[in-house]
Structures are given as C-alpha cells and as structure tokens.
C-alpha cells in the first residue's frame, strides 16, 4: 500500500501563485515536459511536499526537478537547498538541479539529462 506524501495546506495558495508567476526558465522547461512529452510521463509544477514546494515533479519516476535562480547561490541558499534535497531524498525522490542559465541557454541538454533519469 502506498503511503501518502506529506502535504502542507498552508502552502497550497503559495504554490498556486508560483504556477501563475513562473520564471522565464520555468516556463521554458515546462513547455518541454508538460503533456507527457518525456517518455509519456506526467509532470506537475510547483508541487507541495511537507514544508517545501518542488518546481517540477514526475510521480512515476519519483523525480523532482529544481531550477535555481541567483538566490540559490548564497551561503544561506546553498544550505537551504541541501536541507531540501535531503528531505526529498528521504521521501524517495531523485533531485535534479539546473541553473536558470542552463535552462535558458541549453534546454536540449537539460531535457536530455531529465530524460535519462526517468
């Protein structure tokens, strides 16, 4: 029997806002993964898990894709991302991280990397 994934109701509205206001990099990747374009697998965007919101999530492959903007490269941002990745890993997910620049300048390479992990 599957166990339910942790869900924080308080983040539901915020996740919805993030979906409405995606970054250019998130929009670019979303156009390549939505509608089961990769191996016929469904992706969701801004998915709430516990106290975190994952940028993209593929339940069938248990893969989370994160797109990192500039705030992720400060000492505090790096620490927060490490905690977040550990949390997702404990839930059984593989976390893939890409920078905004990678997505905007090398989308084919990013999609290929995701493809290999599905």
Domain membership of residue 32 (yes or no) is yes
Predicted model pTM: 0.90
CA atoms lying within 13 Å on the CB side of residue 34:
9
Check residue 6 and give its pLDDT: 83
Looking up residue 108, the CATH number of its domain turns out to be 3.40.960.10
Residue 1: what pLDDT? 47
Overall number of domains in the chain = 1
CA distance 56 to 78: 19
Please give the span between the terminal C-alpha atoms of the chain, in angstroms, as a whole number: 23
Q: What is the dihedral of CA 102, 107, 11, 93, to 10 degrees?
A: -90
pLDDT attached to residue 85: 96
Domain-embedded: residue 88: yes
Report if residue 3 sits inside a domain. no
Which residue in this structure is represented by tokens 């084919």?
A: 108
Q: In this predicted structure, what is the pLDDT of residue 73?
A: 66
Taking only the tens of pLDDT, the chain with its 118 residues reads 456 788 888 999 999 999 999 999 999 999 999 999 999 999 999 999 999 999 999 999 999 999 998 666 678 888 999 999 999 999 999 999 999 999 999 999 999 999 999 9
| Cα–Cα distance list, 82 to 8, 55, 91, 94, 98 (Å) | 20, 15, 14, 13, 14
Q: Which domain holds residue 56?
A: 9-117
For residue 27, the tally of other CB atoms under 10 A from its CB is 11
């Amino acid at each position: 029997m599957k166990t339910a994934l942790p869900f924080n109701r308080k983040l539901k509205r915020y996740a919805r806002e993030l979906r409405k206001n995606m970054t250019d990099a998130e929009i670019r990747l979303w156009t390549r993964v939505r509608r089961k374009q990769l191996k016929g697998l469904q992706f969701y965007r801004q998915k709430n898990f516990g106290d975190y919101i994952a940028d993209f999530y593929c339940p069938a492959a248990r893969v989370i894709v994160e797109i990192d903007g500039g705030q992720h490269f400060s000492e505090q941002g790096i620490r927060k991302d490490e905690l977040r990745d550990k949390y997702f890993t404990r839930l059984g997910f593989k976390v893939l991280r890409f920078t905004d620049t990678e997505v905007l300048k090398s989308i084919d390479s990013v999609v290929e990397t995701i493809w290999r992990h599905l």
